Structure formats: C-alpha cells, structure tokens
Amino acid sequence: MLVYLTRKEHFNAAHKLYNPSWTKEKNDEVYGKCANANWHGHNFDLYITIKGAPDPETGFLFDVKKLSQLIQEHITEQLDHKNLNVDVPFMKDKICSIENLVYEIWHQLLPHLPAGVSLHCVKLYETPRIYVEYFGD
Amino acid sequence: MLVYLTRKEHFNAAHKLYNPSWTKEKNDEVYGKCANANWHGHNFDLYITIKGAPDPETGFLFDVKKLSQLIQEHITEQLDHKNLNVDVPFMKDKICSIENLVYEIWHQLLPHLPAGVSLHCVKLYETPRIYVEYFGD
Amino acid sequence: MLVYLTRKEHFNAAHKLYNPSWTKEKNDEVYGKCANANWHGHNFDLYITIKGAPDPETGFLFDVKKLSQLIQEHITEQLDHKNLNVDVPFMKDKICSIENLVYEIWHQLLPHLPAGVSLHCVKLYETPRIYVEYFGD
Amino acid sequence: MLVYLTRKEHFNAAHKLYNPSWTKEKNDEVYGKCANANWHGHNFDLYITIKGAPDPETGFLFDVKKLSQLIQEHITEQLDHKNLNVDVPFMKDKICSIENLVYEIWHQLLPHLPAGVSLHCVKLYETPRIYVEYFGD
Amino acid sequence: MLVYLTRKEHFNAAHKLYNPSWTKEKNDEVYGKCANANWHGHNFDLYITIKGAPDPETGFLFDVKKLSQLIQEHITEQLDHKNLNVDVPFMKDKICSIENLVYEIWHQLLPHLPAGVSLHCVKLYETPRIYVEYFGD
Amino acid sequence: MLVYLTRKEHFNAAHKLYNPSWTKEKNDEVYGKCANANWHGHNFDLYITIKGAPDPETGFLFDVKKLSQLIQEHITEQLDHKNLNVDVPFMKDKICSIENLVYEIWHQLLPHLPAGVSLHCVKLYETPRIYVEYFGD
C-alpha cells in the first residue's frame, strides 16, 4: 500500500536572473525584465511530495507536522524574506531560475527524511501561472 | 488515445486521530491536537481521476455527470456531515488518517466503475496545504 | 488617510447545529444533516479587518504580525482542533451557527486591539461557498 | 537533470456537445443541457507541461515567456472568444468534448516546440471541478 | 445585531456583446472580440449577500440551503447552460453586459426573499479578474 | 442605477521595510525580517474598483479592457519586476508599506479615469493572507 503525501509551504523572496559571465546587454536580451539590476520578487509556493507505506500503528506515512518542520528548517527559513542570489549559501554562484531552485531544494531536503520515506517531487510555483517540478534523476 | 478525466467533489466531516490500543497519553503525544477527545473537522476536497480511451461516438471517456453521481452515491453521501470515526461503516476499527481514507475510498469506488474505465488516482485534501494520493496496488 | 488592513487566519473544528430546547425531530427538520448527533466539521477561514490611519513613522496601520498574534491568541487557539459546541467557553449555551460565531469573535477580539485601531469587520467562511460578515452594532 | 515546466493560459469560449449523426432526442438524452441548441460556454484554464534538461548557460528549460507566446499563437488565439464548434478549423467535424480538445491541442502545439523540449502534458479545466489530461499515446 | 450572509452559486453560459441598433463595424469597434457573431462563453460565479438579524431560536439569518434553492430556482436554472442573449426572457432586448446582468438578477431575486431578510449585494464574476457588484437603488 | 466594476491586475516586485531616520537596530526591531538589507519580494495582486452608472448604449460602466490598459500604463508597468524602494519615482522617500502603496496608487490612477467614472477602492494583496484597502479620504 503505497501513498503519496504532499505538504504546501511558502516563502517570499527577491531574486534576479543574471549570468555573470555575460554582458549586461546579453542578460537583458535573454532575461528581459527578470534581469532588473535592483531585483524583483515573488511569493513562492512550495509543494513537497513524499511516498511510502503508512505505518499500521499510526496510520501515517509520516507525521505531516514533522514534514512541515523539516521543510521549514532546511528550506523555507533559508529562503523566506531573503535575496535568493545573495543571501542563500546553496544558490551561491548558480543562476537563480526555478529550474535550478527545485534541484537544489531536492538535494537540501533529501538527507533529512527518515527511513521508509522517499522524496517523490519538489514543485515550486513562481507565480500562480508558472511552476517547475523535479522528481530526482 | 488515452486520456485522464478528473472530477472534484467535497464533503465536510468530523474526525479525530486515535489508536484505541494506546493510552490517552500516547495518543496525545503522537497525534497532538488531532487527538482532541471531542473531535475536530475539515472541509475535505476529493479528486477522482479515471483513465481510458474516449468513445468515438460521444467524445467522452465517461459522462462526468455519471462519474459525479457514482462518487456521491458510494463515497461522499457516506461521509458528508458525518463523524468519520463513528458514522462510517467502511472506516470502522481503522485509524482515521487521510492515508487510510484514500485507500478505503479507492476500494469503495472501484467496483462501481464501468468496463473500459480504469481508476487512476484518489486524491484527498484535508486542508488546502495537506493532501494524500493513492494510485492502487 | 484612512486605510483598511485585513489578515486571514484559519481553524479546523467540529460542530453541530442543535437547539437543546427542541426535540430531536424538530432539530432534524430545521437543521437537516447539520444536526448530525455525532458532529461534522469544517476548515474555517477567518478574515479580520481593522481600520485607521497609518503611523507616519512606520508606514503601518498596525503591525500585521502582531495582529496575527492577537487573533491567534484570543480566537483561533481557542477554536482550532476543537469542538465548537463543547470545548469553547464563549460559545457555551449558544447555537453554533456562523452568524453567532462572528458576533462572539468580534467581542472576544475587540478589547485587545490597541488605541488608534478600530475593528471594522469579522468575516468567517464555513465552506468556500458560504460566509458571514459582522461589522459591529 | 530532468525538470518539468508548466505554464497556465486561459480562454473563454462557447460550445455545445452534439453528434450530428444522431437525432436531437438522442443528443439531449446523452448530453443533457450540454446539448443546448443555442450554445453555452466556459472559462477554460489550460496547463501546458514540457520536460527536459535546463540549459546550464541560462538555467532555463525553455524561456517561459516564449512558451507562453507559442501557446497563445498556436492555441489560445484560435480558441479565445470563439465558438469551438463553429469557428475553430482544427475542431471541424469533431465532437467538442474536452477529451477531444486536449488531443487536438497536443497535436497543434507539438510541431512548434524547439529541439530538446518534450511536450509532457496538456491539461484542460472546463470548470474548476472538471479537467482532462493527455500525455500523448 | 446585523449580519451579512453570502452564498456563492455558479452557471456556465454563452453570450455576446452586441447593440442591434449599431452596424457590425461599430459593434466590433466597441466590443472587440466580445462581439464575435458565433458567441463565446464563461463560467460565471455569482455571490448573493443578504442582511438582517439572526433568529434567536435558530441562530440563522436565513437557512443558507433555502437561500441556495431560491437562487437556483429563480436565477441560475434560468441561466445555466444557456445563451444569455437568446434563451433568457429577462435579458430579452437588453445588452448582455455583466453590468446589466447584476441589475436584472437583483430584480428577479428580490421578490422571493422572506420578510426580515434584505438583499444587500449581487456580485457577478465574468472571469477570475473581472466582476461587477450592485447594491440596489 | 449605480454599479461597481472591479478589475484584478498583478505585479511582482522587490521591496524592504526601512525607515532611513532610524538605526539598523531599530529597523530590525520594528520590521523584523521585512527589513532584510538585501530585499525580499512578493507577487502583488491589485484590485481596482470603479463606480458609476452604465451607459445605456453600451451596457458598460467603462470598457474593462480600457480600465486594464489604464492600470497597466499608470500603475503596474511602473511596479512590475521593479524594486519598489529604488526604481519607482512615486514611492521615492516613502516607507514602502502596502498602506502607503495603496494611497500612492490611488493618486496615480485617479487623474486618468474618464468623466462619469469614480474611483471607489484600491485593494492590494501582499500575500494571499494580507491585504490593504483605500477608499479615498
């Protein structure tokens, strides 16, 4: 009996899209207004999905309050009310696209999940109309 | 040509998380305020996804109004404005987690789907930030 | 310069609609399945709106984090994961309709707002399709 | 490193469900009020999901603004404020169910995606409670 | 003790914006693609707000199930899966804007509300980003 | 016949809360993580409500596409993908709270509305749980 449990969290952050090996002109051409030098920002919605078999004693795959605490401790407290390009060690020297963010979030969270629980998906909304998902390789 | 059709239904119910083989102290420790003796409750959102090939004559995989009627008859009328621990025969003697609920809903609904239609997913939101999915097996 | 600031909070609770001075038959006739003896429940969304002039030094009408803490301390911690009919002192001996709930929430919260801040509206969603508002008097 | 990128677009359109090889009576029996001769309509929400590896230079799987432009040019400008049965060449002589719509949208969009980008899913909401997905055959 | 109770209903309908005393060219110039000859359509969300004092015996301003039945009987069953320009007697010879719709809905519903209940607001969403409200006069 | 018409627009922007006449310590004490030196950001949702009598010829209070263009030209293009503290002339030397933003948006938009149309409300969501409204003085 395999079930998938999802918890939604959120964070509010500034970022810009910028490749430091390019000229300002090329950054503007590729990224448009997302390259604005003084930053812009978003309310990000983050959905973490884990999978596994519920424990027959508790009926839980994993206590969703503990899952929420793990996500907050390892992910959203690192990102909330921060500048993703400047303030976040695990995004250092990386282009701050949501494609790269979901990959890094996956690898930040993975070591902290308990035995018997698999990470299934990291899904990140940048706006209500744009999201990226990563399921591991 | 395989398509997936999803219908959302809802029900409002009371429940508590409680393992009768444990002491009250252990229930409180494991389930926290979800173990409140006098119950709490939720607006549950239920998404049922079926899959198959549309009928070339009707353009339908399955008439979504009939799907809605099946879900209401076999699932939501059993659960709506009920106490999930006390009033629902198919949850009798089971821990009332959403992990266990999606599994039971799957098995309640499955026998009533017509030939040519496969049940693909039962997805249940307990709150807008917590949901569980079950895909069979 | 008068502005209105709204904060959304939520709580999950069990209740039933029941007038103890009536027979079970009359309760069932008036309240239908909302009178289910073993309770049902909801995810309630609560919107508190205050009004006043922003402080020129802070730009704030009132710090929204403090508003959130006041609502949690005086309202949602009293209601969340509770049985509204049984566990909540300020609903004691009152019919547990959302009409009565918004009135009681207003009077619970009002004494705790600071000078210069007026309570404007208590709005409570019982389901995404039903809500009640109270503006005082 | 495989990621999935989704863009939501929308269109507002009229349609009816009608099989021209049937009598009016049979259409009414099968499709009910969806067969209303004078049409009805919906706000359709369309989610297009693509998959592939992000470009290490840009951090993008595909520029989401370009994806939005492709969807608008090839799909939503053909459908928005139109009658799906009458005004849309690629729905000509097809029953106007959302099952058939997602299949046609898939085949309209597929030739326009660039190398390195795979179309993963076309998901179409007819109402907030009904949607169909197509993942290719 | 004055409270406001709101019920959300919905209907799916076709319409076009068209003034029959104008040329086709002027209609196209004023209404743009909303004048498409073959119609377009929407999922309309309708919010009806009533106000008054709750009945101390029931705790209800008015039974929300009865309010829902009144709205369905007098409004949404007249509009759902219809062509608003063609199929709806009370929109006959009227321009089918949401400004005119809320006014007509108000006057259709008003005579059916019971004593002690005032109609406060008719609010109609044409899309999630456009709505009109009417408060009488 | 007075109606209220609302149009929702959005913008994504960076900001911080900071009073330059205070020490860093006082800013941190008052604004908490909203004072983060390297900025944070939000997806802002903006609702503009106008009121007046519909034109009997068009059925419109005001063409909602023109309203949308006015809001975009005078408001959201000035704010979208910008740093509200640094890039926006009309927020120059003002504390960047949403209380102050709604007031400035009101005064930016007001001169551009046509005769017969009154500005009724500027409503701004900073997150899905926090919004401010301004109705003029």
3-state DSSP percent of chain D in helix, strand and coil, to 5: 35, 30, 35
Nearest Cα neighbor of B40 from C83, E121, E51 is: C83
Q: How far from chain centre, in Å, is Cα E52?
A: 21
Eight-class DSSP state of F28: H
Smallest Cα distance from F41 to chain C, Å:
17
Q: One of E9, E34, E42, E121 is an active-site residue; which one?
A: E34
Tokens of D108: 């309209």
Instruction: Write the pLDDT tens digit of every residue in D68-90.
Output: 999 999 999 999 999 999 999 99
Phi and psi angles of residue C18, each rounded to the nearest 5 degrees, phi first? -165, 125
What is the spatial distance between Cα A92 and Cα E114, in angstroms, rounded to a whole number?
A: 65
| Cβ-contact D119, D50 below 8 angstroms | yes
Say how many C-beta atoms besides its own lie within 10 A of residue A92's C-beta. 9
pLDDT of res. F96: 97
E-strand stretches of chain E: 3-15, 40-52, 82-83, 118-127, 130-134
The mean pLDDT value for F27-55 works out to: 98
pTM (two decimals): 0.97
Average confidence (pLDDT) over C24-50: 98
- Residues 6 or more apart whose Cβ sits within 8 Å of residue D94: B59, D100, D104
> How do the pLDDT tens digits run along chain A, 137 residues long?
999 999 999 999 999 999 999 999 999 999 999 999 999 999 999 999 999 999 999 999 999 999 999 999 999 999 999 999 999 999 999 999 999 999 999 999 999 999 999 999 999 999 999 999 999 98
| Beta-bridge partners for E119 | E50
Q: What percent of chain D has pLDDT over 70?
A: 100
- Check whether C111 has a pLDDT greater than 90: yes
Q: Which residues contact E51 (CB under 8 A, 6 or more apart)?
A: E2, E3, E4, E5, E61, E117, E118, E120
Residues C122, C48 contacting (CB under 8 angstroms): yes
Residue D39 · residue D15 · CB < 8 Å: yes
A120 contacts in chain B (CB < 8 Å)? none
The closest alpha carbon to D45, from D112, D135, D128, belongs to D128
Q: Which residues of chain B have pLDDT under 50?
A: none
Q: Which residue has the tokens 């496969």?
A: B118
Q: For chain C, first and last CA: distance in Å? A: 24
Q: How far is CA B81 from CA A133, B41, C91, in A?
A: 36, 10, 20
Q: How far apart are CA C77 and CA C62, in angstroms?
A: 21
User: Average pLDDT of E10-16?
Assistant: 98
DSSP 8-state code for residue C19: -
What does the pLDDT read at residue A137?
Answer: 80
What tokens were used for D101?
């719509």
Contact E101, E84 (CB under 8 A): yes
Write down the mean pLDDT value for chain C. 97
SS3 content of chain F, % helix, strand, coil (to 5): 35, 30, 35
Whether the predicted pLDDT of F137 surpasses 90: no
The burial of C55, by beta-carbon neighbours within 10 Å (0-12 exposed, 13-18 middle, 19 or more buried), is given as middle
Task: Give the bridge partners for C137, in sequence order.
Answer: none
A90 CA: distance to closest CA in chain D (Å): 15
Cα(F105)–Cα(B100) distance, integer angstroms: 50
Rounded CA separation A6/F106 (Å): 40
- Mean pLDDT (whole number) for F80-97: 97
Instruction: From E137, E116, E130, E136, select the one nearest E48 (Cα to Cα).
Output: E136
Residue B1, CA distances (Å) to B6, B51, B77, B114 in order:
17, 10, 33, 18
Q: Which residues contact F105 (CB under 8 A, 6 or more apart)?
A: F46, F75, F122, F124, F134
Q: What are the E-state strand segments in chain C?
A: 3-15, 40-52, 82-83, 118-127, 130-134
Q: Is F89 exposed, middle or buried (0-12, 13-18, 19+ CB in 10 A)?
A: exposed
Which residue in C has a C-alpha nearest to residue B43's C-alpha?
C42
Q: Is C121 on the interface with E (CB under 8 A)?
A: no
Neighboring chain F residues of A34 at a CB cutoff of 8 Å: 81
Determine, for residues E59 and C17 on separate chains, whether the beta-carbon distance falls below 8 Å. Answer: yes
Q: Report the alpha-carbon angle D109-D114-D117, nearest 5.
A: 85
Among the residues of chain F, which ranges form H helices? 24-31, 64-71, 77-79, 98-109
Nearest-angstrom CA–CA distance, B118 and B95:
27
Is chain B in touch with chain C: ≥3 Cβ pairs within 8 A?
yes
Contact list in B for residue D95 (CB cut-off 8 A) is 58-59
d(CA A55, nearest CA chain F) in Å: 35
User: What are the sequence ranges of the domains in chain E?
Assistant: 3-134
Cβ-Cβ contacts under 8 Å, D9 against chain A = 129
Distance from CA of F15 to the nearest CA of E (A): 25
Report the alpha-carbon angle B117-B120-B124, nearest 5: 125
β-pairing, D118-127 with E3-15? unpaired
> Which residues face B10 on adjacent strands?
B45
Tokens for C127, please give them.
């389901």
Q: How far is CA B71 from CA A104, B55, B105, B135, D124, in A?
A: 40, 21, 9, 17, 21
Is the separation of the CB atoms in D134 and D100 below 8 Å? no
Q: How far is CA A107 from the centre of its chain?
A: 10
**What's chain E's average pLDDT?**
97
What is the residue-averaged pLDDT of chain D? 97
ipTM given for this complex: 0.97
* D33–chain E Cβ distance below 8 A for any pair: yes
Nearest to C59 among F97, F129, F130 (CB): F97
Please answer whether residues F44 and F10 qualify as being in contact, where contact means their C-beta atoms are separated by less than 8 angstroms: yes
Q: Which positions of C are annotated as active-site residues?
A: 34, 81, 126
Encode pLDDT of E81-137 as tens digits.
999 999 999 999 999 999 999 999 999 999 999 999 999 999 999 999 999 999 998
CA B101, CA F65: separation in Å to the nearest integer? Answer: 47
Question: pLDDT value at position C137?
Answer: 81
| Residue showing tokens 């006449």 | F21
Amino acid at A58: T
**DSSP string over D85-121:** TTT-GGGTTS---HHHHHHHHHHHHGGGSPTT-EEEE
- Whole-angstrom CA distances from F72 to F45, F87, F107, F109 are 13, 16, 15, 10
Sign of the CA dihedral running C45, B13, B134, B71: negative
The answer to whether F64 faces chain E, any CB pair under 8 Å, is yes
Whole-number average pLDDT of chain B: 97
The closest CB to that of C3, out of F17, F30, F102, belongs to F102
> With the CA atoms of E70, E74, E79 and E81 taken in that order, what torsion angle do they form, in degrees rounded to the nearest 10?
60
CATH topology for E3-134?
Tetrahydropterin Synthase; Chain A (3.30.479)
On the question of pLDDT at D137 being above 90, the answer is: no
- Token code pair at residue D59: 């951090």
For residue F5, pLDDT beyond 90: yes
Interface test with C, best of E49, E63, E64, E66 (most C CBs within 10 A): E64
